[in-house]
């Protein structure tokens, strides 16, 4: 599928919306030209239809052999690779992102799908535990207890604006939910609906190729406040995944938890990813730290969830040199196109508000920007003034960084203690900084989902050991990650079987262990039959 219809994908078919009067188009942010194809929002009836199809599909999709679901995920990845040119071409038009970035992101997306396929083939994601019976135990016999993981049910996934592929239609939330055995309904992002439709077409092709139920995937258009809210509130939906703003994510989280039957809602919201620059590190490696900082600050026009939005340093000669070099390098940066005009407007509004704070000074800005382009902004404030104004911690989405200058080590620790939850925190330190870096790490490990030494948070590695989450407001569930193998845990729940006949047990719990998975049996890891 390379042409666009503007339709909704429901139960294996492209359906014209019953609300044609609500059709919308997309503007190319690079030149403000309107792109062809109108996209219509889903009606309440179409939402019901998608959820009903997903509920029906769950009955059979949830019990498919893991190998079958793995084949499905691999088929999606292959279909996306075959359609890479039209996907990237449309993505460039809708987002203003460069081709190299989108091709890299497409590779990350297909890599995630194959990572979950491999996880399904391994089988250890179910974390099987078996405690065998002991009828002779006194004073009471010990029952046979066996624990596995089962899928929750249909999941709604909200596509993100800043990653039109990796956190969108077939992104990490969708891949992990499908791997878990949950049908997915994607609420496409209005900033890149054409890109979403092309990717949805790849998922539909994989459904037809592998024979999984047609209701396993759906894609709908519509505003978050209406279509999104209706999906989260729908009794057929059993979980939600979201990446976006604090206000939008919190509103949906409140709907999810306020239902008569509350459901888990995994939202990735706001993060400024504080970075601590210690004196000896700056003295020894100041030039490389500056170069890497400006690169991380401006990467993707600052529209990554892990760009460094706060720097913390003590006032000293090494810090003065860092400020001088960083200011000079920032001033040389050319403007970059932001994803949408509204995101660009919010970026400028946020900077203007911060600049209006009397205690904040502007250290440097990039070259003049116009249209939907953004230039980086580096500002500074004293620790004392920062600690007196909690609003200065709020994220400005885009290439904007606030430097907090401290008089003492004690002030640095006070600043660290003042932070709310963030996705990442970084510490640049040499061995001679160990006492201070240890103290900061002890505070920051309570504030972040990923603690980084001598590096910045940008470049989230997709691997088994990754944690991409953190305390609120970086995410709504501090115990989860949206990147890496453990993302599958969000969409499953534990189910315990007690004294169950072997014939009625799922494959991974049977005595013979026909899948050959590694199991914790009576406190010992084993792949052997019982």
- List the chain domain ranges: 8-269+481-489, 274-453
CB within 8 A of 312, min separation 6: which ones? 274, 275, 276, 277, 383, 403, 404, 406, 412, 415, 416
Give the dihedral sign, CA 172/175/177/180.
Answer: negative
Residue stretches of the chain with pLDDT short of 70 = 1-2
DSSP letter string, 323-339: HHHHHHHHHTPPPEE-S
**Which pairs from 139-146 meet CB under 8 Å and 24+ separation?**
143/498, 143/499, 144/498, 144/499, 144/500, 145/496, 145/497, 145/498, 146/496, 146/497, 146/498, 146/500, 146/505, 146/509
Q: Are 97 and 87 in contact (CB under 8 A)?
A: no
Task: Considering the candidates 74, 268, 279, 395, report the single residue annotated as catalytic.
Answer: 268
Cα gap 284→245, rounded to integer Å: 38
Cα gap 447→326, rounded to integer Å: 26
Residue 406 annotated to the active site: no
User: Is the CATH number 3.90.1560.10 carried by domain 274-453?
Assistant: no
Q: Are 389 and 360 in contact (CB under 8 A)?
A: no
Task: Considering the candidates 202, 305, 344, 406, report the single residue annotated as catalytic.
Answer: 305
Q: Are 242 and 265 in contact (CB under 8 A)?
A: yes
> Residue 244: what pLDDT?
94
Q: Are 308 and 297 in contact (CB under 8 A)?
A: yes
Q: Where are the alpha helices (DSSP H) in 259-387?
A: 279-298, 317-331, 341-356, 383-387
Cα gap 460→441, rounded to integer Å: 20
> Residue 2: what pLDDT?
61
Structure tokens at 244: 């976006």
Ramachandran region of residue 186, left (φ > 0), alpha (ψ -120 to 50) or beta? beta
Q: Rg for the chain (alpha carbons), in Å?
A: 25
CB within 8 A of 170, min separation 6: which ones? 76, 80, 109, 113, 199, 202, 203
| CATH architecture for segment(s) 8-269+481-489 | 3-Layer(aba) Sandwich (3.40)
> Residue 1: what pLDDT?
46
- Which position has the token pair 């049977």? 510
Residue 94 annotated to the active site: no
Structure tokens at 490: 């969000």
């Amino acid at each position: 599928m390379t042409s666009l219809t503007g339709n909704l994908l429901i139960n294996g078919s492209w359906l014209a919306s019953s609300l044609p009067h609500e059709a919308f188009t997309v503007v190319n942010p690079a030149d403000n030209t309107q792109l062809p194809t109108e996209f219509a929002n889903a009606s309440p009836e179409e939402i019901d239809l998608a959820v009903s199809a997903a509920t029906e599909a769950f009955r059979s999709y949830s019990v498919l052999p893991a190998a079958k679901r793995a084949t499905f995920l691999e088929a999606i990845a292959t279909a996306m690779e075959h359609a890479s040119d039209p996907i990237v071409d449309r993505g460039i038009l809708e987002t203003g992102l460069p081709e190299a970035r989108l091709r890299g992101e497409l590779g990350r997306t297909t890599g995630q799908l194959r990572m979950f396929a491999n996880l399904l083939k391994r089988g250890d994601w179910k974390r099987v535990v078996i405690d065998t019976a002991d009828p002779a135990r006194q004073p009471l016999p010990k029952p046979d207890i066996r624990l596995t993981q089962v899928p929750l049910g249909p999941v709604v996934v909200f596509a993100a604006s800043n990653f039109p592929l990796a956190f969108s239609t077939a992104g990490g939330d969708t891949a992990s939910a499908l791997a878990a055995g949950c049908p997915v309904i994607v609420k496409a992002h209005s900033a890149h609906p054409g890109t979403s439709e092309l990717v949805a077409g790849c998922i539909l092709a994989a459904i037809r190729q592998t024979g999984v139920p047609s209701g396993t995937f759906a894609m709908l258009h519509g505003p978050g406040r209406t279509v999104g809210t209706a999906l989260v509130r729908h009794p057929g939906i059993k979980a939600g995944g979201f990446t976006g703003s604090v206000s939008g994510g919190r509103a949906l989280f409140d709907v999810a938890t306020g239902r008569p039957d509350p459901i888990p809602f995994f939202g990735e919201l706001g993060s400024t990813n504080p970075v601590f620059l210690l004196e000896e590190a700056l003295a020894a490696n100041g030039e490389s730290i500056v170069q890497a900082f400006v690169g991380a600050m401006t990467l993707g026009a600052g529209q990554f969830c892990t760009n460094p939005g706060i720097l913390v340093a003590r006032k000293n000669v090494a810090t003065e040199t860092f400020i001088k070099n960083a200011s000079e390098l920032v001033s040389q940066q050319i403007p970059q196109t932001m994803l949408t005009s509204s995101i660009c407007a919010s970026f400028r509004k946020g900077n203007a508000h911060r600049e209006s704070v009397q205690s904040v000074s502007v250290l440097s800005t990039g070259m003049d920007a116009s249209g939907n382009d953004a230039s980086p902004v580096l500002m500074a404030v004293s620790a004392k003034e920062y600690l007196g104004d909690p609003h200065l911690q709020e994220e400005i989405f885009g290439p904007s960084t606030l430097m907090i200058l401290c008089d003492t080590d004690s002030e640095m620790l006070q600043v660290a203690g003042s932070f709310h939850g963030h996705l990442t925190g970084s510490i640049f330190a040499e061995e001679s900084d160990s006492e201070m870096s240890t103290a900061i790490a002890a505070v920051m490990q309570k504030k972040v989902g990923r603690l980084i030494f001598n590096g910045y948070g940008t470049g989230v590695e997709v691997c088994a050991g990754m944690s991409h989450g953190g305390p609120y407001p970086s995410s709504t569930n501090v115990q989860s990650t949206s990147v890496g193998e453990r993302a599958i845990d969000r969409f499953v729940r534990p189910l315990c079987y007690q004294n169950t006949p072997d014939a009625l047990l799922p494959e991974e719990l049977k005595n013979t262990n026909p899948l050959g998975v590694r199991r914790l049996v009576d406190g010992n890891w084993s792949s052997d039959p019982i």
